[in-house]
A and B are shown apart, each in its own frame.
Chain A
Amino acid sequence: MNLQSVPLEYYLTLSAILFVIGAVGVLTRRNAIIIFMSIELMLNAVNLTLVAFSQFFGDPGGQIFVFFVMAVAAAEAAVGLAIVLALFRNKQTVYVDEVNIMKW
């Protein structure tokens, strides 16, 4: 059951795939909440990279970074939800493609 037995590349590849899935989600979904969830997925993919490197180097710095990324993600989630709520009250929609009065 030694984590070290799984090569670093596997973690990096997995996190890259997760990251891309998240990015694709941002580009394809219309619902602001789901877009934000996709962003969270991207952040967690990065967390995986950080933890993998941290384990690889035996340096706790990367893991500490992960904590901060999580805290920041939580703060962003709170703010994001608030913004989406305010948007819904204002325009009765959470679909981002319907929010485009400012353009050109």
Chain B
Amino acid sequence: MLDLAYLIPLFPLIGFLITGFFGKKLKSEALIGGIASAAVGLSFAVAATLFFTLTGLPADARSHTTYIFSWLAAGNFNVDVAYQVDQLSIVYALIVTGIGTLIHIYSMGYMHGDKSYPRFFAYLNLFIFMMLNLVLANNFLLTFLGWEGVGLCSYLLIGFWYDRKFEGVNIRFTGDAANKAFIANRIGDFGVLIAMFLIYKTFGTLEYNAVNTAAAVAPPDAGIMTAIALLLFLGSTGKSAQLPLAVWLPDAMAGPTPVSALIHAATMVTAGIFLVARNATLFALAPDAMTVVAVVGVTTALVAATIGIVQNDIKKVLAYSTVSQLGFMFAALGVGAFTAAVFHVMTHAFFKALLFLGSGSVIHGMHEEQDIQKMGGLKKYMPVTHRTFLIGTIAISGIPPLAGFFSKDEILWMTFEHGGHGPMWIILAIAAFCTAFYMFRLYYLTFGGKERFDHHRLHPHESPVTMTLPLNVLAFLSVVGGFLGVPYALGFFASDHPNLLENWLGPIFSQANGILGRGEHHSIHAIEYVLMAASIAIATAGILLASKLYKEESEKPAELARKFKGAYNLLLHKYRIDEIYQALVVSFIYQFSERFLWKVFDVKIVDGLINGAAKTTQSAGESLRRIQSGVTQNYALLMIAGIVVILTWLAVG
């Protein structure tokens, strides 16, 4: 049964082939979208079946590898195309295919009438295929293939409307945004690649289980472990938009909104968390690297959350929110709370996909308007969107009993318990406050208050059922999803192990937890309840502040902006990260290159080497072509010369 794992990526591949090659032939949009959605839906069905098969097995037998074929073999180096179904990969596969299916269905409505309709679905299916390879792979190389593949799809989909205008630092078209994402990701990929070399050199294999077991049994030199972990994490920061490579994600919003929901919120950007979680043992053996992960995560969470407060583009608010939430997840990973991170990946996938799809519905209904300053009062025009969006907003703000509360609270508690008790918790709490604030600001500016758009030009309308259906499903999941991870402190009366997800994922992380010295003991601390109450209070405070400022039309926000002009502008310009990079990368390097590189290094050395090599090749080619005179007998002469030389050498030498 578990051998059927290959079917999970197979269906999207078939879907991609059909929509990609015959998409133009299939005239009907419904048919194309139907095929693409069905492909992912079938994958979800298979994944669900496998999941239930796994649940029927004892906890320590829930890992199964299906070998498809041997991909590369040379000497001792052997890499298979093999899919590993276990507790972690099946959770990811369910998220990818489940949310993927919903977003496919949603896209059928959203992309209606687009001239590149088949191309869009082909890319989406290809993305799902690659993402499934990434999570189901049993070795680094296959994951890397998926890693690159999702990067490619992301690139293609960000630039899907490649000639549309798009505003950003040094960005004018969506194509530029795609390039920015591409470059930031390449830096990360470079890290993964080097890490792979190091891993192969150290352990002699690239299979996850073998590598992690070998590392646990006989840990190699701590320096190497730290290097490997940090390089892998560099890859994660690229893919999951953490500082310092976070810059690409907000600009990636240039892509169609379903893409933002699927790739840039629910699935691809969490690949970095997957990579760390999959190699939890390696990270556990590199405590220094863990600290780096935690610090980067916490910093990103706060920085992105504060930027989110002042953004006016509906999708950019959500984008910074995503970056911030990913920071939460890395903070959890950094303190060794792997389960909490995966839990947050899941709940975040629910409510962030919901919010993005909701924003897409708004944009759709507002005829491509994205500025929340020009919205308002959409409550009555778009009831379904409004209701579901509100659920998503509450969920992300961390109000119980919605999904966001449980996962975020677990992260907060874990950082408090294992992350030095004070500072990290406080920073994340501030980030959580900001989250509640900017999310409700977004909600009020969009749906509440007066209508600030031109009634003669714009007629907001509710979206078709293909779009509202996924909204409803995701809203439902956002409400109930949290109960998969009820903390012991709240559920101790019902069961000894109320946290279902922790039970499920436990065996995966037992090795890492063992190294970190974490037992499976449960106890109730009074302080946990205090902190829980505090986080609820913080979220409520954020919501109340937002409603005070934005519920009714008022001058207060503008006043505040004037009063704290410096801070406001700093946030509005995203801490000028882009500009700093600009200054670093362009200006500084420009100066440096002008003064030194160009006048000394380039003219003297690079010209002598790089250009020299190119010129040598060119001129060698030019002189070689002179030999090719076009006269038959000259060819014969060269042949004779060659024959004489060869025979002489054979006879004499």
Contact = CB atoms under 8 A, between A and B. Distances in A.
**Chain A residues touching B, range:** 10 to 19
A45 B630 CA distance: 29
B631 A23 contact: no
Contacts of B632: 96-97, 99-100
A102 to B, nearest CB: 6
Interface of A: 23, 26-27, 35, 96-97, 99-104
Interface string B636-647: 110010000000
B628 A104 contact: yes
Contact of B629 (A23, A27, A35, A100): A100
Interface string B504-546: 0000000000000000000000000000000000000000000
A35 B628 CA distance: 20
Contact of B637 (A27, A96, A99): A27
B633 A102 contact: no
A36 to B, nearest CB: 12
B25 interface: no
Interface residues of B, number: 11
9 contacts: A27-B637, A27-B640, A35-B633, A97-B631, A97-B632, A100-B629, A103-B631, A104-B626, A104-B630
B618 to A, nearest CB: 14
B623 to A, nearest CB: 11
Contacts, number: 29
Contacts of B630: 100-104
B620 to A, nearest CB: 14
Contacts of B626: 104
A102 B631 CA distance: 9
A94 B208 CA distance: 71
A45 B625 CA distance: 34
Contacts of A103: 628-631
Contacts of B637: 27
A97 B633 contact: yes
Nearest to A101: B630
B633 A27 contact: yes
Given A96-B631, A100-B631, 12 more contacts: A23-B640, A26-B633, A27-B633, A27-B636, A27-B640, A97-B632, A100-B630, A103-B628, A103-B629, A103-B630, A103-B631, A104-B630
Contact of A26 (B625, B628, B636): B636
A97 B631 CA distance: 5
A27 B632 CA distance: 9
